[in-house]
Amino acid sequence: MELESAFEGYATPSDESYKTRGEHAEVALRSDPVVWCSAQVKPLSQAELCAYEETGFCIVRGLVPLQQIEACKNHLQTFTNEDQLKVTDNCRFVTEANSTVLRSIFAIHEDKSPLGELARAKFLTEYVQQILDDDIYVHQSRVNLQAPFKGTGFSWHSDFETWHAEDGMPRPRSLSAVVFLDQNAEYNGALMVIPGSHKSFLRCPGRQKGANWEKSLQSQVYGTPAEEHLRQLAESNGIKYCTGAPGDVLFFDSNLLHASSGNRSPFPRRNLFVAFNAWSNRLQAPFFSEEQRPEHVAHRQRVERFPRSA
């Protein structure tokens, strides 16, 4: 693995397939692959790759040893007593809106900690490299904490729509690996997805001004698809709860529509999210935003390249 900051050979979109943040909400067909023509047959089988291509996600059960999960959860306790946590251009902590309850911790893969080691683990990156068929790097990493009784959840959205509009990611040659640190169930805010929705690109209205990310990390307004389009896709494809046990890992396409409800249960729902991007798909200037998001939210310079195995 090598640390690099030179960005040549951008994969610039050749059409307006992913145009967004205009006056109207629209639905367009995705113009790029989901599985990028990989000839590898491991770690995912051909059947599993086909299922991922069709639904936009897969869950690998028991991928992370429970001892490693416990070490990560113990490390998280160090953040629970942080005072005056808030969103700033140099602060990676995000609280719930109008609250001191911790919601997210960003740039977690840069930590020399059990969480940082897990975010960079080869048994995660090899799945990503197989699907994206490229060298990869971490575009964004975070721990999302759905606090007992107080977690507020996340609105329906496609990660790629935001990454394209606000970060300058050219194409959806990217995906997220989500490590379940706690039991993920319907009652404590497990992620919901619309299977197959990654094949459509939902153009979102409303060109934001200024540093939209300061508020969107707490409660998203811009980048939210139209309710009628969400309803149509959900009626056609259904909604799936991504439930599982500690150590399970969810891999999902960056354009897959997903959301989570609030956590009113007495049980936490903490997950490690690591968003990987193809090396050939590195960030440019934002396509539909006046300001780019800060480094700890969308990495441009502090990037570690994970080469594919020979």
Q: What is the pLDDT of residues 99-133, one digit of tens each?
A: 677 788 899 999 999 999 999 999 999 999 999 99
The mean of the pLDDT values for the chain is 87
CA distance 255 to 243: 20
pTM of the entire predicted model: 0.89
Q: Does 181 score more than 90 pLDDT?
A: yes
CA distance 203 to 28: 7
CA distance 274 to 210: 26
CA distance 29 to 12: 18
Q: What is the mean pLDDT of residues 174-184?
A: 98
Least reliable range by pLDDT among 96-110, 114-128, 164-178, 206-220: 206-220
Sign of CA dihedral 221, 227, 233, 234: positive
DSSP code per residue over the chain:
-EEE----S----SSSTT--SBSS-EEEE--S-SS------SSS-HHHHHHHHHHSEEEETT-S-HHHHHHHHHHHGGGTT-SS---BTTB-EEEPTTS-SEEEEE-GGGSSSHHHHHHT-HHHHHHHHHHHTS-EEEEEEEEEEE-TTTB--EEEE-HHHHIIIII---SS-EEEEEEESS-B-GGGT--EE-TTGGGEEEE-B----S-THHHHTTS--TTPPPHHHHHHHHHHH--EE--B-TT-EEEEETT--EEE--B-SSS-EEEEEEEEEEGGG---S-SS-SSPPPTTTS-SSSEEEBPPP-
Q: What is the pLDDT of residues 15-25, one digit of tens each?
A: 578 999 888 99
Q: What is the pLDDT of residues 235-270, one digit of tens each?
A: 999 999 999 999 999 999 999 999 999 899 999 999
Q: Does 142 score more than 50 pLDDT?
A: yes
CA distance 262 to 241: 14
Q: What is the mean pLDDT of residues 289-308?
A: 91
Q: What is the pLDDT of residues 25-81, one digit of tens each?
A: 999 999 999 999 767 778 999 999 999 999 999 999 999 999 999 999 999 887 765
